[in-house]
C-alpha cells in the first residue's frame, strides 16, 4: 500500500478545499509536515485515519483526542458561514492510494447543520454521512466498490493500524514496567494470534450448541451420558477460563515484582545485597531445572527397573531356550503359505490332484500343523533375544536409578541451602535503616508469595482439567457406542466431535505459533535496537515469556533501568518497527511527533534509520524542536515533499505551503 | 484484467505449515475454512461474526463424511 494524495474539505482548521500530494520515490520515501502546536499537524494525521477507517476511527476519537468527536472537526469558519447563509456545511476527506499497483480512493463525507446551544455556542449536528470506495481500472474508469471492513482487513486491519499510524507518545509508553499487556497485545494482533484464538472460541461455541442439541435429543442411557458429557465440558471450559485469569494475574504480579527488584538493584545501599539475591535466585532456578530433568529420567528408569522382579525368571527362560536351541529342537522357519496354497488348490507340488480325506490331503495337513508348531518355536527364539536385551536393560536402569536418586537428593539439599541464603539476604535487606528500602523489600516479598500461591492454584486447576479431559474421553467412547442406535443423535455427535476436535487442534497449534512469533519479534527488536542505538552492543534485548521487554547486560543481569531515557525510547521504537516487519504488511509508516518526547541524544540515529524502514514515511514535526539541525541533515535529502503549515490566528485558517 | 496476487506472509506460511501436520483431513478442512472466515471478518465485533457460516462449514464437512461412510458400507 502506498498513499498518493490527500484531499480535504472544511476539515479542522483547513477551510475550503486542500489537496496534498503524497507521492514519493524509493530513494526519497519521506514526506514531512512542519507546523507549530495547534497548526494542524495532528488534524492531517487524523484526516488520513478517518478517510481509511471511517466510523471505526470516529468511535476511537473520544479516547484518543480527549473527548472530541468527529463533528468537532467541522471547520469553524465554514460553520459560521453556513449559519449566516442558512446552509449546510460539508466536511470530507479523500485518500488516494495504490495497493498491489491498483489505484483506489476512499472518501468519508458528512453534511452538518449549524446549531446554537443554550449558552450561544455554535455546534454542528450531523445530517448526512457517506463513505465511498472507488477503484480506477486500467482504462481509467472509476468503479465503485462496496466499502466494507473486508477490503481494509486485507490491506491493513483496523486493529493493527496502531503499529503503523501512531503518535510519539506510543514510543514513550512501551518500555514502562507495566506495559507487558500492550506488548503482548501488539504481537497478538499483528501476527494473527487473535485470529486463531477467535477461531478456537467460535468452534467451541458451535461444539457446545451441538452438545446441547444431542443432549436434548438423546433418550434412555444415552441421554444420561450426553448430560454428563455436557456437564464435564462446561466444567472444563470454566477451568480453562480460570487458569487463564490466574495466569494473567500472575504475570501482572511478576511485572510489578520485576519493577520493584530493578528499583532495589539501583539503590546504592541495596545493590550489593540485591545482586547477591539475584545470583542466588538464578542458581535456585538452575537447580530446579536440573531437578525437573532428573525427575523425568527417574520416572523413565523406575518404570524399567520396576521389572527387576522378572529379571531372574527371564534369565532362567533364556537359559532354557538356549539349551533347546543347542539340541536342535528349534528348527528353521519354513513357509506355511505354500502348504496352505496346495491345500486350497487341492493339488500336490508334483501335479497330482486330491480331495479332502485323501492320504495326500492328510499328509499335507499334518505337515502344516507341524510347521505351525515350528513357527511357535520361532517366536520363542525371538522372545529369547528380547528377554536377553530386557534383562540387561533392567540391570542398567537399576544402577542408573540409584545414581539419579543420589544426585537428586544432593540437588534438593542444595536447594534448601539456597532458599535459606535468600531468606537471610531478605532479612538483611529488611533490616536496612532506610525506610523505603525496607518497604520495597517487604513489597517484593509479598508479591513473591502471591506469585507462588497463584502458581499453586494454577497447578491444582491444571490437574482438575486433566481429570476432566480423561472423563470426557471415557464418555466419548460410551456415547459413540450408544449413539449408533439413535441416528439423529449420532449425526449431532459427529458435528460436535468435528467442531470440538478442530478447536483442540487450533489450541495445540496456538502455543507453538505464539512461541515462534515471540522469537521472531524478539530477534528483530534486538536487530533494530542495535541500529537505533549504536552504543547498545553491550546489551541484549529479550522478550520474555510474560511478553515483557527485558534488557540484559553482558553478565545476564537486568539492565532496563540503566538505559538512558533516549535508549529506552529507542527500544520502544525498535519493538514497534519489529512488529511492523514481522507482519510483512509493509504499509506507509505515519508518525505524529516522533521526536517530541524523544531524547536529543538519539535524534541523529533515529532520524537516519526511519527512512530505511519503509517505502513511505510520513512525519509530522514541530519546527526547531523536532526539525532541528540534526534531523534536518538526515531527513532533508530523503524527503520527496516538505510541507509547511501556516496557521493564521485572525482568520483561524491553516494554509499548506510546499518548501 | 489484472489478477490479484495471493500474498502469504512468512508468519502465515508458518501457520499453514503447522496446519499441514494435522492428520485428520476433515479437521484440516474445517480449520482451513474457519481461519478463512475469521480472516474475512477480522474487524467484525464478536456480536456480528457470522456464526451461521461456521455452522454450515461443520455441517457440510459432516455430510461429506456421512455420505462417504454410507457408500463405504
Q: Tell me, what's the pLDDT at A384?
A: 67
Q: What element of type H or E holds A134?
A: strand A122-136
Are the Cβ atoms of A494 and B59 closer than 8 angstroms?
no
- Which among A204, A119, A263, A153 has a CA at the least distance from the CA of A506? A204
CB atoms within 10 A of CB A47: 25
Residues in B closer than 8 angstroms to A149, CB to CB, are 41-44
Strand-strand pairing, A617-621 and A589-592 = parallel
A505 within 8 A of B27, measured Cβ to Cβ = yes
Q: Kindly state whether residues A27 and A127 are assigned to the same domain.
A: yes
Are the Cβ atoms of A198 and B49 closer than 8 angstroms?
yes
Are the Cβ atoms of B58 and A191 closer than 8 angstroms?
no
pLDDT, one tens digit per residue, over A513-545 is: 888 888 888 888 888 888 887 776 778 888 877
Residues in B closer than 8 angstroms to A502, CB to CB, are 27, 30-31, 34, 58
Per-residue b or e along A61-79, where b marks 16 or more CB atoms closer than 10 Å to that residue's CB: beeeeeeeebeebbbbebb
Q: Tell me, what's the pLDDT at A332?
A: 43
DSSP A338-369: HHHHHHHHTB-TTS-B--TTSHHHHHHHHHHH
Give me A229's grid cell. 458429557
Q: Tell me, what's the pLDDT at A327?
A: 67
Using CA atoms, how far apart are residues A322 and A328, in angstroms rounded to an integer?
10
Domain limit, last residue, from A506, A523, A546: A506
Q: 527417574: which residue's cell?
A: A298
Are the Cβ atoms of B41 and A520 closer than 8 angstroms?
no
Q: What CATH number corresponds to the domain at position A46?
A: 3.40.50.300
Instruction: Report the domain count for chain A.
Output: 3
Residues 6+ apart with CB under 8 A from A236: A465, A468, A469, A472
User: Is residue A325 in a domain?
Assistant: yes
Q: 539503590: which residue's cell?
A: A267
pLDDT at A115 over 90: yes
Closest by Cβ to A202, choosing from B24, B54, B62: B54
Q: Tell me, what's the pLDDT at A365?
A: 81
Q: A615 vs A14, which has greater pLDDT?
A: A14
Using CA atoms, how far apart are residues A97 and A21, in angstroms rounded to an integer?
11
Using CA atoms, how far apart are residues A606 and B49, in angstroms rounded to an integer?
41
User: Is residue A652 in a domain?
Assistant: yes
| Cα A251 to chain centroid, rounded | 15
Q: Kindly state whether residues A352 and A499 are assigned to the same domain.
A: no
CA-based nearest residue in chain A for residue B43: A149
Give me A17's grid cell. 478545499
pLDDT at A603 over 60: yes
| Helix runs in A65-191, H state only | 76-85, 149-155, 168-173, 180-190
Closest by Cβ to B42, choosing from A153, A202, A505: A153
Q: Tell me, what's the pLDDT at A74?
A: 95
User: Is residue A549 in a domain?
Assistant: no
The CA distance from B56 to the nearest CA of chain A, in Å, is 10
pLDDT confidence tier of residue A333, bands split at 50, 70 and 90: very low
Indicate which of B8, B11, B20, B63 best probes the interface with A, i.e. most A CBs within 10 Å of its own CB: B11
Q: Kindly state whether residues A23 and A159 are assigned to the same domain.
A: yes
Q: Kindly state whether residues A359 and A437 are assigned to the same domain.
A: no
Q: Kindly state whether residues A34 and A130 are assigned to the same domain.
A: yes
Using CA atoms, how far apart are residues A22 and A6, in angstroms rounded to an integer?
7
Residues 6+ apart with CB under 8 A from A464: A239
pLDDT at A158 over 80: no
Residues in A closer than 8 angstroms to B46, CB to CB, are 198
Using CA atoms, how far apart are residues A481 and A645, in angstroms rounded to an integer?
76
pLDDT at A334 over 50: no
Q: 466499502: which residue's cell?
A: A147
Strand-strand pairing, A549-552 and A540-543 = antiparallel
User: Is residue A280 in a domain?
Assistant: yes
pLDDT confidence tier of residue A379, bands split at 50, 70 and 90: low
User: Is residue A521 in a domain?
Assistant: no
Residues in B closer than 8 angstroms to A505, CB to CB, are 22, 27, 31
A229 within 8 A of A211, measured Cβ to Cβ = yes
Q: Tell me, what's the pLDDT at A496?
A: 93
Q: Kindly state whether residues A43 and A145 are assigned to the same domain.
A: yes
Mean pLDDT score of chain A: 83
What pairs with residue A131 in β-bridges? A108
Is the CB of residue A26 less than 8 Å away from at least one CB of chain B?
Answer: no
Q: Kindly state whether residues A409 and A464 are assigned to the same domain.
A: no
Q: Tell me, what's the pLDDT at A355?
A: 79
Are the Cβ atoms of A499 and B58 closer than 8 angstroms?
yes
Average pLDDT over residues A227-247: 89
Q: Kindly state whether residues A458 and A605 are assigned to the same domain.
A: no
Those residues of chain B that have pLDDT short of 70 are 1-7, 43-47, 71-73
pLDDT, one tens digit per residue, over A260-287 is: 777 776 666 666 777 777 788 888 888 8
Q: Kindly state whether residues A292 and A440 are assigned to the same domain.
A: yes
Domain limit, last residue, from A359, A394, A420: A420
User: Is residue A182 in a domain?
Assistant: no
Using CA atoms, how far apart are residues A628 and A632, in angstroms rounded to an integer?
6
User: Is residue A387 in a domain?
Assistant: yes
Question: What is the torsional sign of CA A416, A418, A419, A423?
Answer: positive
Q: What percent of chain A has pLDDT over 70?
A: 86
pTM summary value: 0.62
Q: Kindly state whether residues A35 and A155 are assigned to the same domain.
A: yes
Q: Kindly state whether residues A350 and A442 are assigned to the same domain.
A: no
Domain extent at residue A369: 304-420
Average pLDDT over residues A346-362: 74
Average pLDDT over residues A194-217: 91
Q: Kindly state whether residues A318 and A294 are assigned to the same domain.
A: no
User: Is residue A600 in a domain?
Assistant: yes
Domain limit, last residue, from A388, A420, A452: A420
pLDDT confidence tier of residue A568, bands split at 50, 70 and 90: confident
Q: Tell me, what's the pLDDT at A479?
A: 82
Give me A599's grid cell. 531524547
List Cα–Cα distances, A271 to A73, A261, A264, A274, A553, in angstroms.
53, 10, 7, 5, 15
Is the CB of residue B32 less than 8 Å away from at least one CB of chain A?
Answer: no
Using CA atoms, how far apart are residues A38 and A193, in angstroms rounded to an integer?
39
Q: Tell me, what's the pLDDT at A33?
A: 96
Q: What CATH number corresponds to the domain at position A244?
A: 1.10.287
Q: Tell me, what's the pLDDT at B45?
A: 61
Which backbone phi and psi does A6 adopt, to 5 degrees?
-120, 130
pLDDT confidence tier of residue A163, bands split at 50, 70 and 90: confident
Amino acid at each position: 500500500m502506498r498513499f498518493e494524495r490527500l484531499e480535504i474539505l472544511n476539515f479542522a482548521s483547513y477551510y475550503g478545499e486542500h489537496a496534498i500530494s503524497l507521492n514519493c520515490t524509493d530513494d526519497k520515501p519521506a514526506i514531512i509536515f512542519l507546523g507549530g502546536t495547534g497548526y494542524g499537524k495532528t488534524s492531517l494525521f487524523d484526516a488520513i485515519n478517518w478517510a481509511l477507517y471511517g466510523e471505526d476511527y470516529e468511535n476511537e476519537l473520544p479516547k484518543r483526542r480527549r473527548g472530541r468527536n468527529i463533528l468537532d472537526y467541522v471547520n469553524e469558519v465554514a460553520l459560521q458561514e453556513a449559519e449566516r447563509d442558512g446552509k449546510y456545511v460539508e466536511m470530507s476527506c479523500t485518500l488516494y492510494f495504490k495497493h498491489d499497483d491498483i489505484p483506489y480512493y476512499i472518501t468519508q463525507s458528512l453534511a452538518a447543520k449549524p446549531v446554537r446551544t443554550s449558552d450561544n455556542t455554535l455546534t454542528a449536528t450531523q445530517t448526512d454521512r457517506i463513505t465511498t470506495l472507488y477503484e480506477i481500472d486500467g482504462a481509467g474508469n472509476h468503479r465503485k466498490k462496496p466499502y466494507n471492513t473486508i477490503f481494509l482487513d486485507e490491506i491493513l486491519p483496523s486493529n493493527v493500524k496502531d503499529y503503523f499510524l501512531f503518535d510519539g507518545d506510543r514510543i514513550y509508553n512501551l518500555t514502562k514496567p507495566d506495559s507487558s499487556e500492550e506488548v503482548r497485545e501488539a504481537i497478538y494482533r499483528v501476527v494473527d494470534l487473535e485470529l486463531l484464538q477467535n477461531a478456537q472460541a467460535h468452534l467451541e461455541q458451535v461444539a457446545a450448541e451441538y452438545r446441547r442439541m444431542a443432549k436434548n435429543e438423546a433418550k434412555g442411557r444415552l441421554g444420561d451420558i450426553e448430560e454428563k458429557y455436557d456437564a464435564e465440558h462446561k466444567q472444563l471450559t470454566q477451568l480453562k477460563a480460570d487458569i487463564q485469569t490466574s495466569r494473567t494475574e500472575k504475570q501482572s504480579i511478576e511485572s510489578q515484582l520485576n519493577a520493584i527488584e530493578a528499583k532495589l538493584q539501583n539503590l546504592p545501599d541495596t545493590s550489593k545485597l540485591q545482586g547477591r539475591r539475584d545470583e542466588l535466585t538464578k542458581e535456585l532456578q538452575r537447580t530446579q531445572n536440573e531437578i525437573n530433568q532428573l525427575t523425568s529420567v527417574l520416572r523413565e528408569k523406575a518404570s524399567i527397573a520396576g521389572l527387576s522382579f522378572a529379571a531372574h525368571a527371564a534369565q532362567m527362560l533364556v537359559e532354557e531356550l538356549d539349551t533347546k536351541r543347542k539340541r536342535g529342537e528349534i528348527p528353521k522357519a519354513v513357509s506355511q503359505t505354500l502348504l496352505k496354497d496346495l491345500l486350497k488348490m487341492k493339488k500336490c507340488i508334483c501335479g497330482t490332484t486330491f480331495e479332502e480325506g485323501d492320504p495326500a490331503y492328510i499328509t499335507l495337513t499334518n505337515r502344516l500343523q507341524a510347521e505351525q508348531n515350528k513357527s511357535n518355536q520361532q517366536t520363542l527364539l525371538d522372545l529369547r533375544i528380547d528377554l536377553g536385551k530386557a534383562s540387561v536393560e533392567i540391570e542398567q536402569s537399576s544402577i542408573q536409578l540409584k545414581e539419579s536418586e543420589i544426585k537428586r537428593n544432593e540437588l534438593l539439599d542444595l536447594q534448601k541451602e539456597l532458599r535459606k541464603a535468600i531468606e537471610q539476604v531478605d532479612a538483611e535487606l529488611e533490616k536496612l535503616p532506610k525506610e523505603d528500602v525496607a518497604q520495597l523489600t517487604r513489597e517484593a516479598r509479598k508479591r513473591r508469595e502471591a506469585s507462588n500461591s497463584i502458581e499453586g492454584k494454577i497447578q491444582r486447576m491444571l490437574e482438575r482439567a486433566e481429570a476432566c479431559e480423561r472423563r470426557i474421553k471415557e464418555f466419548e467412547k460410551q456415547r459413540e457406542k450408544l449413539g449408533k442406535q439413535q441416528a439423529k443423535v449420532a449425526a449431532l455427535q459427529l458435528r460436535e466431535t468435528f467442531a470440538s476436535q478442530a478447536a483442540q487442534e487450533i489450541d495445540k497449534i496456538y502455543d507453538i505459533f505464539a512461541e515462534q512469533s515471540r522469537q521472531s519479534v524478539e530477534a528483530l527488536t534486538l536487530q533494530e535496537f542495535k541500529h537505533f542505538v549504536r552504543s547498545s552492543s553491550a546489551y541484549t534485548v529479550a522478550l520474555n515469556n510474560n511478553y515483557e521487554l527485558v534488557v540484559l547486560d553482558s553478565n545476564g543481569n537486568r539492565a532496563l533501568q540503566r538505559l538512558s531515557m533516549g535508549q529506552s525510547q529507542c527500544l520502544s521504537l525498535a519493538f514497534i518497527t519489529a512488529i511492523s516487519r514481522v507482519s510483512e504488511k509493509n504499509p506507509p509508516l505515519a508518525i505524529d511527533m516522533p521526536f517530541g518526547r524523544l531524547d536529543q541524544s538519539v535524534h541523529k540515529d533515529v532520524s537516519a534509520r526511519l527512512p530505511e524502514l519503509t517505502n513511505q514515511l510520513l512525519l509530522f514535526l514541530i519546527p526547531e524542536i523536532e526539525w532541528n539541525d540534526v534531523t534536518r541533515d538526515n531527513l532533508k535529502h530523503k524527503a520527496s515533499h516538505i510541507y509547511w503549515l501556516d496557521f493564521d490566528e485572525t482568520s483561524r485558517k491553516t494554509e499548506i505551503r510546499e518548501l | 484484467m489484472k489478477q490479484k496476487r495471493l500474498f502469504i506472509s512468512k508468519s502465515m506460511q508458518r501457520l499453514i505449515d503447522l496446519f499441514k501436520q494435522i492428520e485428520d483431513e476433515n479437521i484440516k478442512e474445517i480449520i482451513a475454512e474457519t481461519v478463512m472466515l475469521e480472516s474475512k471478518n477480522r474487524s467484525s465485533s464478536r456480536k456480528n461474526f457470522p456464526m451461521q457460516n461456521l455452522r454450515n462449514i461443520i455441517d457440510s464437512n459432516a455430510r461429506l463424511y456421512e455420505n462417504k461412510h454410507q457408500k463405504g458400507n
